[in-house]
Amino acid sequence: EFVLTQSPGTLSLSPGERATLSCRASQSVRINSLAWYQQKRGQAPRLLIFGASSRATGIPDRFSGSGSGTDFTLTISRLEPEDFAVYYCQQYGTGVTFGQGTRLEIK
């Protein structure tokens, strides 16, 4: 079973700060097939990053993804008020698996 573990569970930061979210896979993610989604309360997930580091259409460049193998990171360089949400990683190299999420909240 492919498991994605996200950390921390909750991250408390202030607007303007840098956010670093982690996603660790139980086995190597094939061809860096790792995506990140943002979900705000009451809304569907929104694709941010695919292929571990490529931004989806319309995503601001303050969002960046990195990593390979089993360790991946989503970085938000300077938090805007609209960035406070829940973030999920998803692998699609071996079936499809989502992580349990990291809640980014205003400190």
Partner 1 sequence: EVQLLESGGGLVQPGGSLRLSCAASGFTFNNYGMSWVRQAPGKGPEWIAGISGSGGNTYYGDSMGGRFTISRDNSKDTLYLQVRSLRADDTAVYYCAKETQAVGGTRDYWGQGTLVTVSS
Q: Identify the H or E element spanning 29.
A: none
Indicate whether 95 belongs to the interface with partner 1 (CB under 8 A): yes
Q: Which of 13, 22, 47, 73 binds partner 1 (CB under 8 A)?
A: 47
* Secondary structure E strands in 1-107: 4-7, 10-13, 19-25, 34-39, 46-50, 54-55, 63-68, 71-76, 86-91, 97-98, 102-106
Residue closer to partner 1, measured from CB, 16 or 72: 72
Indicate whether 9 belongs to the interface with partner 1 (CB under 8 A): no
Indicate whether 103 belongs to the interface with partner 1 (CB under 8 A): no
* Residue 44 phi, psi dihedral angles, 5° rounding: -75, 160
* Residue 84 · residue 39 · CB < 8 Å: no
Residue closer to partner 1, measured from CB, 96 or 106: 96
Residue 53 is encoded by which pair of tokens?
Answer: 């580091």
Indicate whether 98 belongs to the interface with partner 1 (CB under 8 A): yes
Q: Which of 9, 14, 44, 81 binds partner 1 (CB under 8 A)?
A: 44
Residues 66-85: x/- map of binding to partner 1 (CB under 8 A)?
A: --------------------
Q: β-strand 54-55 against 46-50: which pairing, if any?
A: antiparallel
Residues near partner 1 (CB under 8 A): 1, 33, 35, 37, 43-47, 50, 56-57, 88, 90, 92, 95-101
